[in-house]
Structure 1
Amino acid sequence: MEDLKISIIDIIDGTVVDGPGFRMSIYSAGCSHRCPGCHNPQSWSIENGQPMSVEQLLEKVRKSPWNVTFTGGDPFFQAKEFAALAELIKGECGKTIWCYTGYTLETLVEEADPDKLRLLQSVDVLVDGPFIEALKDSDLRFRGSSNQRILDSAAIRKAF
């Protein structure tokens, strides 16, 4: 495998806010959506992250007992790298992967970027859509605004 590096803001092992149960959340750097009211604006610039190899991240996932969430930033900003990581996690660890993105599922499919499609096909759950401050709802589980959707793998496959 080529030496792929991912710009990472943070890794939180054992969080309960980015999907069901305890999870390892990997916070990516880089996001072009720049949603007003974003809870993580320091993640917008890819320069704010620290480069980690896919293998380093995989080793952390192996050591954690929890399933995984890709968030950020927007993992689709580094789709090639996250797709490689997701495929390794699925193949070697058998853990479920949730992925947050400011894109909608429809936009990702229509755009037809091979790396983004590869990542999309490697996740179990996609939380899609930009954060919209006017639609903010603190009662929603795992989402910040009511336009965002939680889509399982069946819904993702149906979009293709």
Structure 2
Amino acid sequence: MSTTMSQSSAESTLAESTSALSIVLFAGGFDRVHYALVMASAAAATNRKVTLFFTGRALRALVHESEPGVLGWHDLDPADDGSSPVARDRYFATHGLATFEELLEACVAMGVTVMACEMGLRALGLPQGVQLRADVPVSTGGVVTFLNDAPKGGAMLFI
């Protein structure tokens, strides 16, 4: 019986590692970061382990408000249609599509791991100890930390 249980446990671990999704967000375009949140929340909703690794200009999405009501993602690069992140998000809201905040909240609620690249924070010129969003549990680490977190058989996307 213990052989069956350990075999079942090994199969479960293998299934979890091969269904895991690790997403590297290095592009700072609003549509790209928004869609990464779509992918992450959908994967988490289907019981997959998900890690979002923010680096480059995408890190702006995790920066604490610069002033009340001005979230860091407002400073992402324009959407693919040239509109501002705020205008594009408003368009999504009025057309029944998930907004940036709704997707980010869903990711947090479903346990998606959110990582901020230490090197990326420095490369953006953000000051040491820059405040990241308090409502999103963000761990900081480097590429090695991210790769160690990514299950060996899981999928990895670069956005």
* Structure 1 and Structure 2 fold alike (TM over 0.5): no
The structure with more radius of gyration: 2
Structure 1 length normalisation: TM-score?
A: 0.37
Structure 2 length normalisation: TM-score?
A: 0.37
User: Whose strand fraction is larger, Structure 1's or Structure 2's?
Assistant: 1
Question: Greater relative contact order (Cα 8 A, min sep 6): structure 1 or 2?
Answer: 2
User: Whose helix fraction is larger, Structure 1's or Structure 2's?
Assistant: 2
